[in-house]
Structure 1
Amino acid sequence: MTAFFTIIILVFIGVAIWQMVKIFDLAQVGASNSQVATDKDNKLNGYLMLAFLAFIYLITIVSVVKWGDLPLLSNSASEHGPQIDNLMVISLVIIFAVQILTQFLLHWFAFKYKGEKGRKALFYADNNTLEAIWTIIPVITLAGLIIYGLFTWNSIMNVSEDEDPLVIELYAQQFNWTARYGGEDNTLGKANVRLIDIDKANILGVDEADPNAQDDIIVKELHLPKGRKVLFKMRSQDVLHSAYMPHFRAQMNCVPGMITQFAFTPTVTTAEMRQNQDIIEKVEHINEIRVENSKELVANGEEALERYEFDYLLLCNKICGKSHYNMQMKIVVETEEEFQAWLKEQKEFKDSLNK
């Protein structure tokens, strides 16, 4: 498939260069080699426009059949996920319908009204009705999408105190993530990058004198309880990062010098998601690829690749440096009982310092 697209791109580049040469020749006013399009040329270009329209529709159909199942829309794992997916589906349907219609009109009119000897083009200086139609319809459509999107966004971002969310800090730095829980009081202690002390293992710059910081828990693997609202407070140590959790339909920039936040409620545990048919098929496909790649590695005396097992991931969705692709952290969604048991096994901040 990559080779096919490479060939297509090269063909388009060649056609573009050829067209630019033709335009340059036609622009040579008064030159002996000046060319004027004939009826034959116009007829050929008209049919080429129809052929290109057929090509566009064909490539669209192939893309929809091959990649149009949108498996990510079937495995949201947060309470607000279906709202985001619904907004995405509506947007895609509108875009698809508009593309089909506008491309047809563009290419059909180019064919139908191609130049012919003796035909004179009808010129409109302006048409207020047409201009109103193609201005008002897009405005109404886009306004509807934007308003729907804003209501969806506000419903996601509004976190009331009555919900008593679990508070977790996500700390970003090139090129890894660190999570900090508020401990028993569910309150994060104060922190500042100026307080970072590597010798004491205070890698987040947590204020050691703050009483709320004493029971904070700092970990490298994120655990979330199913069915409980989680409020993430996000910081960055160095450059702009973006905390992206695709299955939870969550993303928020981590900005140096300020705290941003995002909240959601996990609805599907890791164990449950591993039973999702789309996930099972994806895992099987990845492991088939790994088996094939391992054959070459073993032949060269290297170790075979480990079998892949699905896990939720926290990723960085900003190109933050040369190791950006590897900036990720495992997320485990589990029951409340399992989460509390895991939390009790973790060291509190006051006990993790190298004094």
Structure 2
Amino acid sequence: MTVFLVIIILALLAVTGWQMSKIFDLSRGPGADSSPIANDKDNRQQAQITLAFMVFLYLGMAYSFWHWSKLYLPEAASEHGNEIDTLMFISIGIIMTVQVITQALLHWFVYKYQGRKGKKALFFADNDKLEFIWTIIPVITLAGLIIYGLFTWSDIMNISEEDDPIIIEVYAKQFSWEARYAGGDNTLGEANVRFIEGINTVGVNENDPYASDDKITSELHLPVGQKVLFKFRSQDVLHSAYFPHFRAQMNVVPGMVTQFAFTPDITTEEMRNSDYMVDKVSTINDIRKENSEALMAKGEAPLDSYEFDYFLLCNKICGEAHYNMQMKIVVETEEEYNAWLSEQETFAETMEK
């Protein structure tokens, strides 16, 4: 009902505006120019408005960069992440340079070559030199960006056996993640949704000898400085494994295994102590403190203090609880990682229970 009333009000406002414009036309003097063709005064006004809009556009752009840059992610926490960031900043630099130049020329030409009585525009059908310039420059630029990106992509996707990466399976389902670590043999046992039953939540084949030493966890622990090969499976719908701080993302597709690898190079503790994260956490906790005071005034429980952690997120809208589909990631030293992993039950031990 509310939507219907809003539509009626908007329609009435539109009719009112149209009627007022007709009244305005009727109220103009007999000598007023009522021709629908723009005259010199109209052209001059529109040219001035165009210049004013250009100034507004650039001021808004500068303000947006200054005001929202604080929301950019901190430095990449993986070895290849710096390459991703470099490629992005190069792309932004090229786009902004072209945008600033072309927008300035567009608005200036509108002003400089505004229509005037008796003045005709120059027209020519084609210019091979100009067409060559605006074709070859984008071709060279895009080719350079694509070649640069392919080297980074190849490093992530093409895993050499000589790297001897740690193999971890990440299993997605509405609306949570589970991780499965290959045991001492560094080989994951066979898994399929057909084997899901009871506590066997990721569908590991109990009869596969490689599966007995696998370890299934609800947290993802990674040793700093070691390459990790992630293998992704989905139980139900299309998900997307998104590691924002590591600059990595991969679709998780039902019925197939996708994979990529990266090497984490900043521990959780090091990221927490970085200047960027200290300032961000302080700001968030200040906001939470203010909100907690309002909650306590209503007799409700205050908010917990925030502490930074890496998280694996789902970047596909996979259902009603998609927003909360996340898993904590801990990047730690090799000694801490080995100690944590040794405490986890093997698949065989879990099934025995």
What is the TM-score of this pair, normalised by structure 2?
0.89
Residue of structure 2 in register with 1:161 after alignment: 161
| Corresponding letter in the other structure for 2:115 | G
Unaligned runs of 5+ in 1: 1-13, 22-32
Distance in structure 1 (CA, Å) of the matches to 2:120 and 2:69: 44
Q: Distance in 2 between matches of 1:222 and 1:255?
A: 20
SS at match of 1:353: helix
Shift of 1:142: 1.2
CA distance in 2, matches of 1:323, 1:63: 31
State the AA in 2 paired with 1:124. Answer: F
1:97 is displaced (CA, Å) by 0.4
Structure 1 residues 173-209: Cα deviation after superposition (integer angstroms, max 9, x where no partner): 11110000011111110000011102xx001110000
Q: Distance in 1 between matches of 2:128 and 2:75?
A: 47
Q: Give the aligned partner of residue 26 of structure 1.
A: none
Alpha-carbon offset, residue 51 of structure 1: 0.6
Distance 1:113 1:354 in 2: 84
Contact (CA 8 Å) 1:71, 1:278: kept in 2 or not?
A: no
**Counterparts of 1:237 and 1:280 in 2: how far apart (Å)?**
38
Residue 46 of structure 1 pairs with residue 52 of structure 2: no
Aligned pair partner of 1:336 in 331, 334, 337: 334
Structure 2 match to 1:214: 212
Per mean C-alpha deviation after superposition, the further-off stretch among 211-220 and 34-43 is 34-43
Q: Percent identity?
A: 64
Mapped partners of 2:89, 2:42: distance in 1: 42
Quote the Cα distance in structure 1 between the aligned partners of 2:217 and 2:304.
25
Partner of 1:25: none
Q: How many residues align?
A: 327
Mean Cα displacement is larger for which, 63-72 or 261-270?
A: 63-72
Matched, 1:142 2:142: yes
Structure 2 counterpart of 1:314, which letter?
L
2:129 corresponds to 1:129: yes
The code of the aligned residue for 1:44 comes to Q
Q: Helix, strand or coil: the match of 1:271? A: helix
3-state DSSP of counterpart to 1:204 = coil
Q: Secondary structure at the match of 2:313?
A: strand
Give the structure 2 partner of residue 84 of structure 1. 84
Offset from partner CA, 1:124-155 (integer Å, 9 cap, x none):
11111111111111111111111111122112
Q: Which of 233, 239, 242 matches 1:241?
A: 239
Q: Which amino acid aligns with 2:231?
A: K
Question: For structure 2, which runs of at least 5 residues remain unmatched after alignment?
Answer: 1-13, 22-33
The 3-state SS of whatever aligns with 1:117 is: coil
- Return the offset for 1:56: 0.8
* CA–CA distance in structure 2, aligned partners of residues 283 and 95 of structure 1: 32
* Structure 1: distance between partners of 2:187 and 2:352: 23
Q: Does 1:183 align with 2:183?
A: yes
TM-superposed CA distance for 1:67, in Å, is 2.2
Cα offset, 1:353, TM superposition: 2.1
CA contact (8 A) 1:168 1:180 kept: yes
Q: CA deviation at 1:71?
A: 4.2
Within a 5 Å distance, the mapping from 1:254-293 to structure 2 comes to: 254-293=252-291
Cα distance in 1 between the residues matched to 2:350 and 2:35: 82
The residue type equivalent to 1:296 in the other structure is A
Instruction: Report what 1:151 is aligned to.
Output: 151
Match of 1:35 in 2: 36
Question: What is the CA-CA distance between 1:349 and the residue it aligns to?
Answer: 0.5
Give the corresponding residue for 1:306. 304
Pair 1:61-2:59 in alignment: no
> What amino acid does structure 2 have at the position aligned with 1:86?
T
Residues of 2 paired with 1:251 and 1:278: CA distance? 23
Per the alignment, in what secondary structure is the counterpart of residue 328 of structure 2?
Answer: strand
For the aligned residue pairs, the C-alpha RMSD in angstroms reads 2.0
Separation in 2, partners of 1:111, 1:173: 58
Deviations 1:294-321 (A, max 9, x none): 1121112111000000000000111111
2-structure distance, mates of 1:70, 1:148:
26
Task: Tell me the CA shift for residue 68 of structure 1.
Answer: 3.1
Partner AA of 1:336 in structure 2: E
In 2, distance between residues paired with 1:123 and 1:260?
A: 55
1:325 and 2:323 are equivalent in the alignment: yes
> How high is the TM-score relative to the length of structure 1?
0.88
Structure 1 Cα separation of the partners of residues 333 and 290 of structure 2: 36
